[in-house]
């Protein structure tokens, strides 16, 4: 069982932006979701753990490896799928994985050939092995990205916004692949897409403004909102007035009119109806609360 322990990790950029504000997390094998809006600090945390940038203070230990002070050792056991997985022009999937295997230190040609075949099979791309990766769909490129992240039997895989831009079918195939990979290693899935977390992760954290504002299971967070979420369809003109008098978690357009969800310890009346909370309600309630506290 692998374990990643992050304690009081902080990072402020030269322009004064606080990207990480005393972030502390404990993560074990399996799929761990890091959910947050754009600019929450998710990518800063992922880049720090991937040894692509340094933190100002705090610690991060991957088993007995000091992530901040032993970057070379981390890279030996790290699989990283960045937000945009770039590829060389005119290179095939087989050539790309073979090249990346060499860079990862697998110099035995027979061993490398067997590994590349295994990885292409695992991500269901063996029949496309001689096709140019540049011509692949977004979902296929992401599957190649997962294949390269698996080179070298990693203990930790970081996937930064891996489903952004994928169509629903590609996203579902990617979910299945990530779930399979996550049985044996730590997989951190960083995303702003609530469905990614709901479909894949048994444990999660919500991040906003560089801070962890929730850490636990998705279901526990949902249960905490039971009986406290109400909804109502209003007009656009009424929205400002409702925002002044109610704690609005979220609003979205339904049939051209705003459907608002509000948080209330008791029935707010005024035509609101109680609804079962979902992870989206949790996300927006935590984000809105942390915004208020700043």
Q: How many domains does the chain have?
A: 3
Instruction: Judge if 55 and 184 occupy the same domain.
Output: yes
Among residues 152, 169, 189, the one where a domain terminates is: 152
Instruction: Judge if 169 and 239 occupy the same domain.
Output: no
Question: What stretches of 218-278 show up as alpha helix (H) in DSSP?
Answer: 218-223, 239-245
Instruction: Judge if 94 and 234 occupy the same domain.
Output: no
| pLDDT tens string 219-231 | 999 999 999 999 9
Among residues 216, 233, 264, the one where a domain terminates is: 216
Query: The pTM is what?
Result: 0.85
The H or E element that residue 102 is part of is helix 93-103
**pLDDT, tens digit only, all 294 positions of the chain:** 889 999 999 999 999 999 999 999 999 999 999 999 888 999 899 999 999 999 999 999 999 999 999 999 999 899 988 877 766 778 999 999 999 999 888 999 999 999 999 999 988 899 999 999 888 888 888 888 889 988 988 999 998 888 877 788 888 887 888 888 878 899 999 988 888 888 889 899 999 999 999 999 999 999 999 999 999 999 999 999 998 899 899 888 988 899 999 999 999 999 999 999 999 999 988 887 545 433
Instruction: Judge if 115 and 68 occupy the same domain.
Output: no
Instruction: Judge if 160 and 49 occupy the same domain.
Output: yes
Instruction: Judge if 124 and 148 occupy the same domain.
Output: yes
Instruction: Judge if 160 and 116 occupy the same domain.
Output: no
According to the 3-state scheme, what is the secondary structure of the chain?
CCEEEEEEEEEECCCCCEEEEEEEEEEECEEEEEECCCCCCHHHHHHHHCCCCCCCEEEEEECCEECCCCHHHHHHCEEEECCCCCCCCCCEHHHHHHHHHHHCCCCCHHHHHHHHHHHHHHCCCHHHCCCEHHHCCHHHHHHHHHHHHCCCCCCEEEEECCCCCCCHHHHHHHHHHHHHHCCCCEEEEEECCHHHHHHHCCEEEEEECCEEEEEECHHHHHHCCCCCEEEEECCCCCHHHHHHHCEEEEEEEECCEEEEEEECCCCCCCCCEECCCCHHHHHHHHHHHHHHHC
Instruction: Judge if 47 and 172 occupy the same domain.
Output: yes
Residue 21, domain extent = 1-77+154-216
Q: What is the CATH number of the domain that holds 206?
A: 3.40.50.300
Instruction: Judge if 40 and 143 occupy the same domain.
Output: no
Instruction: Judge if 102 and 119 occupy the same domain.
Output: yes
Instruction: Judge if 1 and 73 occupy the same domain.
Output: yes
Instruction: Judge if 177 and 135 occupy the same domain.
Output: no
Among residues 152, 173, 192, the one where a domain terminates is: 152
């Amino acid at each position: 069982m692998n374990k990643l322990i992050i304690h009081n990790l902080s990072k402020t950029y030269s322009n004064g932006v606080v990207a990480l504000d005393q972030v502390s997390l404990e993560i074990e094998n399996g799929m761990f979701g890091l959910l947050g809006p754009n600019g929450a600090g998710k990518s800063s945390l992922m880049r720090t753990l991937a040894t692509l940038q340094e933190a100002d203070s705090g610690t991060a230990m991957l088993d007995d490896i000091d992530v901040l002070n032993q970057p070379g050792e981390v890279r030996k056991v790290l699989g990283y799928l960045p937000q945009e997985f770039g590829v060389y022009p005119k290179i095939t999937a087989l050539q790309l994985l073979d090249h990346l295997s060499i860079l990862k230190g697998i110099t035995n040609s027979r061993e490398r050939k067997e590994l590349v075949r295994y990885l292409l099979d695992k991500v269901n791309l063996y029949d496309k092995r001689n096709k140019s990766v540049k011509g692949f769909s977004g979902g296929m490129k992401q599957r190649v990205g997962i294949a390269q992240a698996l080179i070298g039997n990693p203990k930790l895989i970081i996937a930064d916004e891996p489903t952004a831009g994928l169509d629903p079918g590609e996203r579902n195939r990617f979910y299945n692949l990530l779930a399979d990979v996550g049985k044996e290693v730590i997989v951190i899935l960083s995303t702003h897409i609530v469905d990614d977390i709901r479909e894949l992760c048994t444990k999660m954290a919500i991040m906003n403004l560089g801070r962890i504002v929730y850490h636990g299971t998705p279901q526990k967070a949902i249960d905490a909102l039971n009986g406290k979420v109400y909804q109502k369809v209003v007009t656009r003109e009424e929205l400002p007035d409702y925002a002044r008098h109610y704690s609005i978690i979220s609003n979205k357009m339904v049939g051209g009119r705003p459907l608002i969800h509000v948080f209330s310890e008791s029935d707010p009346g005024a035509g609101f109806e109680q609804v079962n909370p979902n992870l989206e309600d949790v996300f927006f309630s935590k984000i809105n609360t942390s915004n208020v506290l700043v």
